[in-house]
Amino acid sequence: MLTYLALHYWAGSGQEFDLLRPLLPAGTQLLAPDLPGFGQQAAPAGFDYSVKSYVDWIAEFIADNQLTEYVVIGHSMSGKFALALAARQPAGLRGLVLVAPSPPTPEPISNQGRAASLAAYGKREEAEKTFLVITNRLLTKPIHQAIVRDNLRTSHAAWDAWLTTGSKEDISALMPAIRVPCRLLVGDADRAIPLAAQRRQTLPLLPPGSELTVVPGAGHLLPLEAPESLRAAL
């Protein structure tokens, strides 16, 4: 059975893929775990929140679930994790779908932006502001509430670590080791990691022939704003 392993964005959780699940073809399954420090997933003892530690955790999840044929969907933060995983050339990996991914090179965040995000931790009014930045299409009230709730239940350690170290990691040296097909999916109204940044920092480092799909009118949260476009990319 082909499995789609869907990995969520920073300050999110696996529930962001709930709209995609019913769109998948028969004979496939979707696994969307909460990553350590996010949603309901506590970080293991000694977890340092580095890209390597997250990839190790994902590899263990794959082994625990005995996945033998799978495609990884990496959204935002997890796009960097998906690329680092693929560079290990794990058995059974059939491809990557990179959804508004954190680039292999450091994310284009200003020092002022990082400082503001660090100071925003745990504040509902800031979570509401973030919602307005990362979405562009109209979403239902329950989805809006879930996005804000995920933001507020992120652990402080995971929040700070991504902003201060993880998003700055440069894994571009790993990119030549990727041997599976990749597809890049970006909303043309993405204000978090703009389309221009993806064209400059991500697409040139993907394997030759990797496709870029631009979703009109969509922001950063494509699995919730445009699940049909994500389904088509699969």
CATH classification at residue 182: 3.40.50.1820
Average pLDDT score over residue span 125-132: 98
Residue 203 CB-density burial (10 A; 0-12 exposed, 13-18 middle, 19+ buried): middle
The overall pTM is greater than 0.95: yes
Average pLDDT score over residue span 188-195: 97
**Is residue 35 a contact partner of residue 59, using CB atoms and an 8 Å limit?**
no
Average pLDDT score over residue span 161-171: 97
Q: Can you give the pLDDT at residue 217?
A: 98
Q: Can you give the pLDDT at residue 174?
A: 98
Work out the mean pLDDT of the chain and round it to a whole number.
97
Rg for the chain, CA atoms, rounded: 16
In this prediction, residue 49 has a pLDDT band, given cuts at 50, 70 and 90, of very high
95 phi/psi in degrees, rounded to 5: 170, 170
| Residue whose pair of structure tokens reads 């073809």 in the numeric block | 25
**Residue 106: partners with Cβ closer than 8 Å, 6 or more residues away:** 167, 168, 169, 170
The Cα 61–Cα 66 span in angstroms is 8
Q: Work out the percent of the chain whose per-residue pLDDT is above 90.
A: 99
Average pLDDT score over residue span 151-159: 98
The range of the structural domain enclosing residue 123 comes to: 2-233
Q: Can you give the pLDDT at residue 79?
A: 98
Nearest to 75 by CA among 131, 16, 23: 16
Average pLDDT score over residue span 34-57: 97
Average pLDDT score over residue span 65-91: 98
Total domains in the chain come to 1
